[in-house]
Chains A and B, each alone.
Chain A
């Protein structure tokens, strides 16, 4: 049922070593250095977008790579969190940390509801339920007055974080976003490399056996789903403050497709894959934007090539070459 286990060469990557291997420390260090140095060379707003999507993709990967469930409705969490955070910051006038928390909490709640309903099914039916529920959330967002429909919530104030950091300064905002991303990333990492994560893997590999060993598979899957939804919400709420805008694009089902693309390209079930995938896709969109619809064509090509010949994704292939899980 799970996507990752179908390709015969996946198991080598799914192996989990008990303590953090050194090469993963190294990869993490490389990533941090890159993101700390980058804003001095590259337009910071673009990098912040990449970071938010990287967090979104990592959260999504938790569900598909480690639990084996393809959700086709994750945009609902990204977008709803964005709307609530924007509304909290603009209309209620809350400080940014409260706005982001509000957005994240909304996504967690939605994740609980959607997860509880969807977990009972598997495979394509799970994907379809998440899509259906996400569509309902989309139309709710379209109709309800507080989101202002097509116009979105605009001019969202960034405010002062904890009363000290002025988020209107681009570099300050950047490092706050980087901190949020790293926190989310590390949380996911800890989750995967923990007894909880081991059980998830067991469930993915062979659910009946895990159940027979006494684990209530549904509960574990639900917790993973809620965690994934919450972190997607964190990404969405942060993004709303970065762009000072919350719009329908973030709850539309094509956004759900984008995050699948990012994760697939980077490597399903790898630790760093989603980050790489997100950065590449966001960069592509930015530089190809001038060429209009070529962006969609390129995205389509990436999907096709990845599915046909490149199923491990970039980081997955890299890990395979180095014979170490990344």
Chain B
């Protein structure tokens, strides 16, 4: 009898020990999952790992007695590799939160798996607005930007200045389709016309044929609904074929600081696009950029890196407040707490998982206007947070009560 009581008490003690008010396994394990070796490696890649680690240090995890570990892996832009790693991380390696994940196809897969397993997913790279729309999840927060915000910023600005006929060159996967769809909506709503579209496989080397089709359409604006290496290839080859000289303009719908660095100001000057962060905005962002560049081979932070930093910081604050790293609960807490970090300033996270902050319309400087390394952008306009993202009720997100 005594033995049985002892057993029951031990069982109770053990279950009490594993009740929700505890950090699972004593470690907050963060997994940075992104493209480390292919066309998105520079804009996210190791930089996101650096950003996450900086956030952990700045949060002061050690001083607060919290053990935080950051690991990373390469999803090679493949949905099956990404979801295998996510599963293995959650099941076997006790990862609590997955960060980054560029490539919307992979992000959608990881979002589903995270939801099934009740963990947390902070998307600082992927773009598809579906992540807070029809594919929204109580375990996912979409940081940094999305296709709707880009379309709204860039699309509106360009149509207003007379670019009312468009031709799209689109990367043939979830992100490209989402970006094309959202931009097309903006163009049509502003009274413009879409004269044609062509889809290209991810990681295309030769855009000559697509550019010729764009040229033949005589559209004023050639919208590049792609990213990373695809965008830079298209821009370079457009110069070869005299597209801009012939009177058409290129609109990069998703361009990063590292793309401009790769292209050079000579080729990239005059490009207009939307970003949510620029390292040279103010003193705080400059200070961060200096520290980051030292740890990242002098490459300055893109908005992805900034997003990874800010998301990790806010996540850790929520975990500290909740004293638990249970995924679903932490995400709920993150939506509850207002955000505040040196990079994006003050902001909020909506019910659909969308983080809100201002967006900036930028223009690439001419070579003569650039005074120091990485001095690439002029800020043309600031879009306030409430206007920058798709209205809460327009997204078809089941989490949003109508």
Contacts and interface: CB of A to CB of B under 8 A. Distances in A.
A149 B172 contact: yes
8 contacts: A49-B84, A149-B172, A150-B172, A151-B104, A243-B80, A245-B109, A249-B80, A292-B36
A95 interface: no
A46 interface: yes
B10 interface: no
Given A43-B92, A247-B78, A292-B36, A150 B87 contact: no
Interface in B25-81: 36-37, 73-74, 78-81
Given A45-B87, A243-B83, A290-B73, A151 B78 contact: no
Given A154-B108, A155-B112, A243-B84, A249 B78 contact: yes
Given A149-B173, A151-B173, A243-B84, A142 B37 contact: no
Nearest to B78: A249
Do most interface residues of chain A lie in helix, strand or loop, or is the interface mixed?
A: helix
A43 B202 contact: no
B298 interface: no
Contacts of A148: 174
A155 B108 CA distance: 10
Contact of A292 (B37, B78, B80): B37
B108 A45 contact: no
A245 B83 contact: yes
B174 A150 contact: yes
B201 A142 contact: yes
Interface residues of A, number: 22
Interface string A149-162: 11110110000000
Contacts of B112: 154-155
Nearest to A246: B80
B105 to A, nearest CB: 4
Contacts of B105: 150-152
Contacts of B85: 289
B20 interface: no
B91 interface: yes
Interface in A229-262: 243-245, 247, 249-250
Secondary structure of the B side of the interface?
helix
Contacts of B37: 292-293
B213 interface: no
Contacts of B202: 150
B74 A292 contact: yes
Q: Which of B92, B109, B201 has the most CB of A within 10 A?
A: B109
Contacts of A43: 88, 91-92
A154 B105 CA distance: 9
A142 B199 CA distance: 12
Contact of B79 (A142, A151, A289, A290): A151
Given A43-B88, A292-B74, A293-B37, A154 B79 contact: yes
Contacts of A244: 83
B154 to A, nearest CB: 23
B378 to A, nearest CB: 35
Nearest to A151: B105
B174 to A, nearest CB: 5
A148 B79 CA distance: 11
Contacts of B88: 43, 45-46
Interface in A276-294: 289-290, 292-293
Contacts of A290: 73
Nearest to B37: A292
Contacts of A154: 79, 83, 108-109, 112
Contacts of A245: 79-80, 83, 109
A49 B104 CA distance: 25
B177 to A, nearest CB: 9
A103 to B, nearest CB: 16
Contacts of B173: 149-151
A304 B202 CA distance: 31
Interface string B98-116: 0000001100110010000
Given A142-B201, A151-B174, A154-B112, A45 B73 contact: no
A293 B36 CA distance: 10
Contacts of A293: 37
